[in-house]
Chains A and B, each alone.
Chain A
């Protein structure tokens, strides 16, 4: 092999690194923006930037594996006749049939049901498989209203009005034509094979005053039985949460910018919204200021990967977390076992994000019957259940270390931050100091 003439003289540009160069070249070649799945890949302040202090002389820990640490959570206690009673504080986020295969949706329901938590429909309606295998199912009301009908509304256990999602706050959706199978087309009342655009605004309401009336209608149709969630992508979180509470939400779902998507412009994923960490703090601030913290429950999503993430979100004041991307990975997405097949479609295990393409060798983000048939819904369900159990055990481990008999007893006082940014965003002290940047009350 010939040695490079300047082995130590090569210097990659920070501004124009190899990824940027490749993207410029791709854009010039194709003339269209990059659309992909997954969530934000850039580094942003996250729960990794926080640490638990753990018990010490002044704090008494619980005995691991012996002393009980509760994990149950009730969502929707404000107005609904039938709140959701979940055994663990982690739920499955909304992901559509269309974006995901029917067996993948079934697996999510199986796994969630096994551990006593909820799963959520998506932009495309409710499938019978999903309903059958999900003991607790949250039904999303989205701007597109694909598949929306009053029978499924009544079959649901809760209703989630989706105002936005973390990957694309202010954006609609798109399901590219090659993922539109006969069944997806029928459920969405559209011809097969065409790109399906989901609007970014709801068709029959605009603004918080209208939202309040829309929620009233949903309650009337379902006889005030179902909890009503309002999901927002994290942007002006403080105000969004207050307005959603004013509009009558039982539960607020805040999805940070790391939240996943099946198909969105890369520029949107990486450049719109705020991270989950500050969004959690802002949401809790908003609820506390209204005197509604814990009365209106808060679910946080967007980049939740571990029990550490869950525990930190709960410590900041969330009632539960939701997982999406991590759930797909748990089911087999990006598995090294599929390395060869990822290579064939120009990707690699650990990098695969082309959920929009419908060529997923794992059979998860596809509508191709052959690929979907590779996915074993029972095995996928077991993996989801296993992963949810691990998240719960990890959360309990951290809570016990802080002396808490319930995961909801975790509190900001248990946390410190590793960076100035995280300290300011989470409003906890920088580790080793009592300094909270911005703690003068300015928001």
Chain B
């Protein structure tokens, strides 16, 4: 093994009790333009905000503990695994890559995400997938109210239940829920779950590492009645 290969194979450990968040993020950002460790482990995040945000590199980052707001925000290409709970806006505006939360996620998980896969093994709070623009989100547990609000494109899979006003003002995103839905938002309706949907659902669950049968899910999407303002729909606004 060459020296460079050995360095890249080693796990770079960063303890946030000894290293500043700024230094961690700067080192991760520096990977975009140069070679460096391909595997990272972050210790003692202790709820810090903006951990591992803005990465643009094919690296694996393991975060041992709970994180605050915006962990892995705007992620590109990286795999970030959080061994704990995540605060609001985990993987917000993610472009690509994988973000995995082993615990629960607070509100606005995957907000405005444009690509990649966000997996929350536990529950996700309100506004999960709000304004999503192409991201795929798989939640092992349940999601809170107003999830997929104004969801544009991408797919949200909920293996548990969904809170009130699911998919309010939804555009073209596809929603799959296995459990109950407390209520659908404006212009969101249940749709037929056809074979092609079961196939894509199966693929998403497989990628997320969650065992569940696609047949148990129901599909929701836009009725497309509010796409252009009509006075007859004024009551829905």
Contacts and interface: CB of A to CB of B under 8 A. Distances in A.
Given A144-B131, A190-B171, A213 B229 contact: no
Contact of B228 (A31, A190, A194, A224): A194
Contacts of A150: 54, 56, 74, 76, 93, 95
Contacts of A190: 152-153, 171-172
B227 A195 contact: yes
A203 B95 CA distance: 16
Interface in A293-315: none
A151 B115 CA distance: 14
Question: At the interface, is chain B mostly helix, strand, loop or mixed?
Answer: loop
Interface string A213-256: 11011001111100000000000000000000000000000000
Question: At the interface, is chain A mostly helix, strand, loop or mixed?
Answer: loop
Interface stretch (B20-28, B36-44, B198-206, B210-218): B20-28
Contacts of B219: none
Contacts of B92: 203-204
A184 to B, nearest CB: 14
A220 B234 CA distance: 43
A205 B235 CA distance: 28
Contacts of A145: 93, 111-112, 131, 133
B116 interface: no
A18 interface: no
A205 B73 CA distance: 13
Nearest to B74: A150
Given A32-B229, A189-B134, A197-B150, A203 B50 contact: no
Interface size class of A (residues with CB under 8 A): 20 to 34
A203 B131 contact: yes
Residue from B69, B95, B131, B231 with most neighbouring chain A CB atoms (10 Å): B131
Interface in B96-114: 108, 111-112, 114
Interface in B149-191: 149-150, 152-153, 169, 171-172
Contacts of A223: 25-26, 29
A276 B54 CA distance: 37
B120 to A, nearest CB: 15
A348 to B, nearest CB: 26
Contacts of B21: 220
A267 to B, nearest CB: 15
Nearest to A145: B112
Contacts of B228: 177, 193-195
B218 to A, nearest CB: 24
Given A149-B114, A191-B172, A213-B49, A205 B26 contact: no
Interface in B43-95: 49-50, 53-54, 56, 68-70, 73-74, 76, 88-89, 92-93, 95
Contacts of A188: 152
Contact of B53 (A30, A204, A220): A220
A223 B74 CA distance: 14
A153 interface: yes
Interface of A: 30-32, 144-145, 148-151, 153, 176-177, 188-191, 193-195, 197, 199, 203-205, 210, 213-214, 216-217, 220-224
15 contacts: A149-B95, A150-B56, A150-B93, A151-B56, A176-B229, A191-B227, A195-B227, A203-B149, A204-B89, A205-B89, A210-B69, A214-B69, A216-B49, A220-B53, A223-B29
